[in-house]
Structure 1
Amino acid sequence: MAKQRLWAIRPIHPGEILREDVLPALGRPKAEIARLLGISRQTLYDILNEKQPITAAMALRIGKLCGDGPEIWLNLQKRYDLKIAERELGDALDAIPRLEAA
């Protein structure tokens, strides 16, 4: 029986969600968003272009700005990272046995 992998669904970087859903809903220029977050425009663009991850500090900033808390942003990043890592490990991960406690 084939194992179902986490990467069966396309991994979604939290920057994509910010770019496609959150920022358009806020209706503010990206430069203003960066200023309100206390980060450079380049840092914001790197996140939106999926070149940088959402760190704990960034999750706190975005969570405060959006009012949804940092956990959602950290969980999105964690899920993305796990899917990418599982894809990269592929068969090597399958070769690792599962040990049971005696």
Structure 2
Amino acid sequence: MMMTERKPTTVGEMLTYEFLEPLEMTQSALARQMGVAPRVVNEICNNKRALSAETAIMLATVFGNTPDFWLNLQQKGDLWKAYHNEKSQKRIRRAHPIPLEAILEAELA
């Protein structure tokens, strides 16, 4: 995956600006459609809550798209944060690839 410097659109931004606002739908109305507490939708819209697979399925059901659409947004944002976070980068740099020779030896054994 090619990582850009531009932060990807978050689930909250997409939900707010591309779905709720054009439909003139409130967070409370969406919460009722999803069958969740209004706090859940508010936290998603404000990027204070990550999506679960279950929530992605509910959003897909309400808006007629796919759970993958919502989870892909979540995943892109999570990966971007990891690549652009200094603390994460320190941890990531500790990982090293397994030498190809070791993989080939294991396959032949």
For the superposition of Structure 1 and Structure 2, which TM-score range results when normalised by the shorter chain? Answer: 0.7 to 0.9
Task: Identify the residue that residue 25 of structure 1 maps to in structure 2.
Answer: 22
Provide the TM-score with structure 1 as the length reference.
Answer: 0.82
Provide the TM-score with structure 2 as the length reference.
Answer: 0.78
The match for 1:13 among 10, 14, 39 is 10
Conservation of the 8 A alpha-carbon contact between 1:7 and 1:84 = no
Task: Identify the residue that residue 51 of structure 1 maps to in structure 2.
Answer: 48
Deviation at 1:87, TM superposition (A): 1.5
Q: Give the Cα–Cα distance (whole angstroms) in 2 for the partners of residues 96 and 7 of structure 1.
A: 22
| Count of residue pairs brought into register by the alignment | 98
Cα deviation digits, residues 32-75 of structure 1 (max 9, x gap): 11101111111111000000011101100000111001111011
Q: Give the Cα–Cα distance (whole angstroms) in 2 for the partners of residues 87 and 15 of structure 1.
A: 19
Conservation of the 8 A alpha-carbon contact between 1:34 and 1:40 = yes
Say yes or no: does 1:71 pair with 2:68: yes
Range with bigger deviation, 41-50 or 23-32: 23-32
Conservation of the 8 A alpha-carbon contact between 1:63 and 1:70 = yes
Range with bigger deviation, 8-17 or 47-56: 8-17
Q: Aligned partner of 1:83: which letter?
A: W
Gaps of 5+ in 2: 102-109
Task: Identify the residue that residue 87 of structure 1 maps to in structure 2.
Answer: 84
Q: Give the Cα–Cα distance (whole angstroms) in 2 for the partners of residues 24 and 40 of structure 1.
A: 20
Deviation at 1:92, TM superposition (A): 4.9
Q: Aligned partner of 1:48: which letter?
A: C
% same residue: 24
Q: Give the Cα–Cα distance (whole angstroms) in 2 for the partners of residues 92 and 46 of structure 1.
A: 28
Gaps of 5+ in 1: none
